């Protein structure tokens, strides 16, 4: 493999990995504060993308479509938390799993009724033709935009969580809800804020994933959800940095594997990575070994 190919494949992998990382980050944000793994994250993001698609059809502006999709993502997060997840008994992990799967199915069914199962093309904001430097093709403007926007969102979240008062309250509610409540933090509201933030991040992931060649259909983001889950598990489900690194690593790995074997085995590769991580380092690559219980 030529060095130029390697550079292109890596860049392409990083761009796709940024998408998985944003889905993974959304899963991690909700997992950390509620111990719920949101299997409906992909379907919620997809619903936002459909809102964006309708906006684009109506206005013809990609930027307005993206803004509408992100706003829809925020509203969906708010609704999912206040209308459904708030009533889930946190002591029964099974209930949360089944309810989020129910939400996934419900949203896919509703999207199917509203838009049908056929694929639709969702426009990209930038060109997908790769830029060449000398004789080497490196990265397309759309991929650059993908990586850039995910990086900006990550940086914004980092600042939010570490430098602001709201971020401190969010972290306090996630790690010690009882103590936080005693110290005057409105933990319930913080949980909702967490759901809204996570859904916006996932909607961004969906907006970047759909134009990258998978097309818009009610099951379009099933794959992205699984890759996001895999990325989050690589990072240990509890670590935002782990989700980021896991997502990008997975993206590069899949980019290389599709260069060698074509894109068909991608789901098998991601399943193999997931099982390998769970067998060898069940806590993920970014956590220390858990305390023995017995």
Partner 1 sequence: MMYHQAPAKQRWTARVPPCLVHAIPLAIALAALFLATGLFEPYRTFQLATACALYCAVAGLSVLTGLTGQVSLGHGALMAVGGYAAALMMQELVGKGTLPALVAGLLAATMTATVAGWALGLGAARLEGPYLAGVTLALVVAVPAVVTIFGETFHGENGLALPALPVPDPVAGSVALERWQTMVALACAFLVTLLLVNLSRSHVGRAWRAGRDNAVATSLAGVDVGRMRVVAFTVSAGCAGLGGGVLAFLNGQVSPGAFGLALSIQLLTAMVLGGLGSLTGAAMGSVLIVWLPDYLSTTIAGWSLEPATAQRVEGNLPLALYGAVLILVMLLAPHGLTGMLARAGRWLVGSVTTARRGTAG
- Site of interaction with partner 1 (CB under 8 A): 35, 37, 39, 84, 87-88, 92-99, 101-113, 116-117, 218-219, 222-223, 225-226, 229-230, 233, 264-268, 270-271, 274-275, 278-279, 282, 293-294
Rounded distance, CA 109 to CA 24, Å? 24
Q: Which of 49, 104 has the CB closer to partner 1?
A: 104
We find the least distance from the C-beta atom of residue 166 to partner 1, in angstroms, to be 28
Terminal C-alpha separation, the chain = 50
| DSSP string of 44-106, one letter each residue | HHHHHHHHHHHHHHHH--HHHHHHHHHHHHHHHHHHIIIIIGGGS-TT-HHHHHHHHHHHHHH
Rounded distance, CA 204 to CA 200, Å? 6
We find the least distance from the C-beta atom of residue 204 to partner 1, in angstroms, to be 22
Q: Which of 61, 263 has the CB closer to partner 1?
A: 263
User: Whose CA is closest to 212, among 22, 82, 28?
Assistant: 22
Rounded distance, CA 189 to CA 206, Å? 26
Q: Which of 141, 223 has the CB closer to partner 1?
A: 223
Q: Which of 158, 271 has the CB closer to partner 1?
A: 271
| DSSP string of 9-56, one letter each residue | HHHHHHHHHHHHHHHHHHHHHHHHHHS---TTHHHHHHHHHHHHHHHH
Query: 120 has which bridge partners?
Result: 216
Residue 72 sits at the vertex; the CA angle it makes with 71 and 73, to the nearest 5 degrees, is: 90
We find the least distance from the C-beta atom of residue 137 to partner 1, in angstroms, to be 28
Rounded distance, CA 79 to CA 195, Å? 9
We find the least distance from the C-beta atom of residue 186 to partner 1, in angstroms, to be 24
What are the tokens at 133?
């430097």
Q: Which of 172, 266 has the CB closer to partner 1?
A: 266
Q: Which of 288, 293 has the CB closer to partner 1?
A: 293
We find the least distance from the C-beta atom of residue 109 to partner 1, in angstroms, to be 3
Q: Which of 63, 175 has the CB closer to partner 1?
A: 175
We find the least distance from the C-beta atom of residue 16 to partner 1, in angstroms, to be 17
Q: Which of 95, 149 has the CB closer to partner 1?
A: 95
DSSP strand E in 134-243: where? 136-139
We find the least distance from the C-beta atom of residue 57 to partner 1, in angstroms, to be 18
We find the least distance from the C-beta atom of residue 196 to partner 1, in angstroms, to be 20
């Amino acid at each position: 493999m030529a060095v130029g190919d390697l550079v292109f494949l890596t860049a392409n992998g990083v761009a796709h990995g940024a998408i998985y990382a944003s889905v993974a980050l959304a899963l991690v944000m909700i997992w950390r504060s509620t111990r719920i793994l949101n299997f409906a994250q992909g379907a919620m993001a997809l619903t936002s993308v459909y809102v964006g698609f309708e906006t684009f059809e109506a206005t013809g502006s990609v930027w307005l479509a993206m803004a509408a999709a992100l706003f829809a993502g925020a509203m969906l997060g708010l609704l999912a938390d206040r209308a459904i997840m708030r009533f889930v008994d946190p002591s029964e992990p099974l209930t949360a799993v089944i309810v989020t799967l129910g939400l996934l199915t419900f949203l896919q069914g509703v999207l199917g009724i509203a838009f049908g199962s056929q694929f639709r093309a969702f426009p990209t904001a930038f060109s997908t033709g790769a830029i060449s430097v000398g004789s080497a093709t490196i990265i397309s403007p759309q991929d650059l935009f993908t990586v850039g926007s995910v990086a900006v969102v990550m940086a914004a979240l980092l600042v939010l969580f570490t430098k602001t008062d709201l971020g401190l309250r969010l972290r306090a509610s996630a790690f010690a809800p009882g103590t936080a409540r005693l110290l005057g933090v409105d933990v319930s509201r913080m949980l909702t804020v967490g759901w809204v933030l996570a859904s916006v991040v996932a909607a961004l992931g969906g907006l970047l994933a759909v134009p990258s060649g998978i097309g818009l259909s009610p099951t379009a983001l099933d794959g992205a959800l699984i890759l996001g889950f895999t990325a989050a598990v690589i990072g240990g489900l509890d670590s935002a940095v782990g989700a980021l690194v896991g997502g990008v690593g997975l993206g590069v790995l899949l980019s290389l594997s599709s260069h060698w074997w074509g894109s068909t085995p991608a789901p098998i590769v991601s399943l193999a990575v997931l099982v390998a991580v769970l067998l060898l380092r069940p806590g993920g690559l970014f956590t220390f070994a858990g305390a023995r219980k017995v």
